[in-house]
Amino acid sequence: MEKYTNAKDILPERLIKEIQKYMAGQHIYIPQNERKKWGSGTGLRVELEERNKEIFRLYNGGQSIASLAKMFHLSEERIRGIIYDKVTF
């Protein structure tokens, strides 16, 4: 369960008074600023996308799902997911 913070503990009084004009006594959710996508800070997202493109290329070149799973140390189910995901693009 999310922990709630009392506005009096973190906001200036003038801001609280302004908010009370609209939402006195009610709960309000303030979302975070836009978050970065997973892996965007480390480059892992790009690395995995390149790996997935290579898997798709090899599959189209005749490699079996079983051999790709062994080659990339992934389950056959994951290889299928990567291949089918690429087909939809």
Quote the pTM value: 0.56
Output phi, psi for 2, to 5 deg: -70, 145
Task: Give the model confidence (pLDDT) of 69-88 as tens digits.
Answer: 999 999 999 999 999 987 76
| Positive/negative CA dihedral, 58, 64, 70, 75 | positive
- Angle among Cα 79, 85, 88 to the nearest 5 degrees reads 145
CA–CA separation, 66 vs 88, rounded Å? Answer: 21
Tokens of 70: 């062994």
Alpha helices by DSSP H, listed for the chain, are 7-10, 13-23, 44-60, 65-72, 76-87
36-76 pLDDT, tens digit per residue, is: 777 777 888 889 999 999 999 999 999 999 999 999 999 99
* Domain-wise residue ranges, the chain: 7-87
